[in-house]
């Protein structure tokens, strides 16, 4: 049984290097070799980080799909319709599929899982979420019997690298982003990371598996880190925390078929919380279950070899299942519905620049009061140029009330700038 590989970029080349270097050992452990059949590439002439025999390369998808010796297809093509069509074709041809394609899974998971079930083949995607961390298999297998109530994590290494730099070196977002781009931690167009969209894709996949539901990336309420300023970072530090971009999925585990809440948002994570110590481009995911309690998984969120390691784990599992003519079961529950914002409650921090004049604080505070938002702590400092900087930390309150407050504040002439709202994770 051979493996067909679609795409041979960073992760693909790393996978080929692993199969080459570890081939003998893996063949011994598995009792059969893991052999590459064909590799689909756009440009066979391109130089790669690992030497690949030219005879394996093809530019035709059909060379992979129609090859009867190929029982398993690894899809590493990146976003786009072609990758989706390739996965569909592989499953139709009764090949198991291993993919790292978060964009496709976060919108087409139900369809692809059904297609895999119909073909009696696996679709595995450990590498689509949190790089090398074996999270998906833990959720699918080890925690299969758990009623999960909450998954909250740092699943975007780029923003975590930027936020860590801002915090530890007192940099602005722009400077930290520039450094991340120079080091290859951020892409030339960082909008997918900074907007929270990348984290939302991963969260949709995590929530789908954790809750056995159909969560689409469009179901996720997303707020990115575009608006996080050094003064927010300082305020977080004075409050005993650090700013992190969190992806969170919640469901009341005690109510069957309870609505789901899926959100990506910047938060002040208090230093006593294990997620606070996750630095740089690392990822970490915190899981709460009815019986097991709280678990945390952390590790490299990206990178060629760690991601290829997750792909390889899927390949080994899929090969084992093919040999046994079986497939991995999915946890699928009833319909999926979502909590609307109005019921979300949390502690929030909101900072703003205001005109430094008598009566302004009273005017601002009144807006919080009008919407029933109670203030736990307030800080004021001078900014120069007749401006003052105000930070409000609320008591636990509804997100809807906070949004109404922000709308009210936006209407005040005395406010020069409203910063991004931050949630507090204790």
Q: Residue 415 forms beta bridges with which residues?
A: 354
Closest CA relative to residue 262, chosen from 371, 164, 155: 155
For the chain, helix, strand, coil in percent to 5 are 40, 25, 35
**Nearest residue (CB) to a copy of itself, 188 versus 291:** 291
Q: Using the Cα atoms of residue 239, residue 241, residue 243 and residue 249 in order, give the sign of their dihedral.
A: negative
**Nearest residue (CB) to a copy of itself, 83 versus 133:** 133
CB 104 within 8 A of CB 87: yes
Q: How far is the CB of 214 from a copy of itself (least distance, A)?
A: 16
Q: Return the structure tokens found at 77.
A: 């093509």
**Nearest residue (CB) to a copy of itself, 308 versus 364:** 308
Q: How far is the CB of 291 from a copy of itself (least distance, A)?
A: 4
Q: How far is the CB of 320 from a copy of itself (least distance, A)?
A: 7
CB 223 within 8 A of CB 266: yes
Distance CA 408, CA 410 (A): 5
Binding stretches for a copy of itself (CB under 8 A): 14, 18, 22, 25-26, 29-31, 126, 132-134, 137-138, 141-147, 212, 256, 274, 277, 289, 291-300, 303, 305-306, 308-310, 312-313, 316-317, 320, 324-326, 329, 331-332
Q: Can you tell me which residue has the tokens 């159909």? A: 214
Identify whether 202 is a catalytic site residue.
Answer: yes
**Nearest residue (CB) to a copy of itself, 22 versus 386:** 22
CB 212 within 8 A of CB 331: yes
DSSP assigned state of 35: E
Q: How far is the CB of 164 from a copy of itself (least distance, A)?
A: 13
Q: How far is the CB of 317 from a copy of itself (least distance, A)?
A: 6
Q: Which one from 102, 165, 202, 244 is the annotated catalytic residue? A: 202
Q: Can you tell me which residue has the tokens 């530890």? A: 168
**Nearest residue (CB) to a copy of itself, 222 versus 287:** 287
Question: What amino acid positions are annotated as catalytic residues?
Answer: 202
């Amino acid at each position: 049984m051979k493996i067909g590989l679609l795409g041979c970029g960073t992760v693909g080349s790393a996978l080929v290097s692993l199969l080459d270097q570890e081939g003998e050992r893996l063949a011994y452990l598995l009792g059969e070799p893991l052999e590459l059949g064909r590799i689909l590439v756009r440009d066979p002439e391109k130089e790669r980080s690992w030497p690949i025999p030219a005879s394996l390369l093809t530019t035709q998808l059909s060379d992979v799909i129609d090859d009867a010796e190929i029982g398993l297809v690894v899809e590493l093509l990146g976003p786009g319709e072609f990758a989706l069509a390739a996965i569909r074709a592989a499953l139709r041809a009764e090949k198991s599929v291993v993919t790292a394609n978060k964009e496709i899974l976060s919108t087409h998971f139900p369809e692809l899982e059904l297609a895999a079930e119909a073909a009696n083949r696996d679709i595995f995607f450990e590498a689509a979420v949190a790089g090398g961390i074996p999270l998906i298999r833990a959720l699918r297998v080890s925690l299969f019997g758990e009623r999960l109530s909450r998954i909250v994590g740092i699943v975007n290494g780029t923003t975590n690298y930027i936020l860590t730099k801002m915090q530890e070196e007192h940099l602005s977002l722009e400077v930290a982003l520039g450094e991340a781009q120079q080091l290859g931690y951020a892409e030339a167009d960082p909008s997918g990371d900074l907007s929270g969209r990348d984290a939302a894709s991963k969260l949709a996949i995590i929530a789908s598996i954790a809750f056995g539901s159909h969560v689409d990336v469009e179901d996720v309420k997303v707020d990115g880190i575009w608006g996080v300023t050094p003064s927010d970072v300082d305020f977080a530090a004075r409050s005993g925390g650090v700013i992190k971009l969190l992806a969170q999925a919640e469901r009341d585990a005690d109510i069957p078929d309870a609505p789901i809440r899926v959100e990506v948002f910047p938060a002040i994570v208090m230093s006593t919380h294990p997620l606070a110590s996750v630095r740089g481009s690392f990822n970490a995911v915190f899981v709460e279950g009815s019986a097991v309690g709280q678990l945390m998984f952390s590790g490299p969120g990206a990178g060629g070899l760690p991601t290829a390691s997750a792909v390889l784990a899927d390949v080994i599992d899929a090969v084992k299942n093919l040999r046994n003519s079986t497939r991995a079961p999915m946890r699928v529950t009833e319909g999926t519905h979502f909590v609307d914002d109005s019921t979300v409650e949390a502690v929030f921090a909101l900072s703003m620049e205001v005109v430094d004049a008598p009566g302004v604080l009273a005017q601002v505070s009144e807006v919080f009061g009008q919407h029933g938002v109670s203030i736990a702590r307030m800080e004021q400092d001078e900014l120069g140029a007749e401006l003052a900087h105000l930070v409000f930390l609320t008591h636990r309150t509804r997100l809807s009330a906070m949004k109404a407050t922000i709308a009210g504040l936006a209407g005040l002439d005395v406010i020069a700038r409203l910063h991004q709202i931050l949630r507090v994770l204790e």
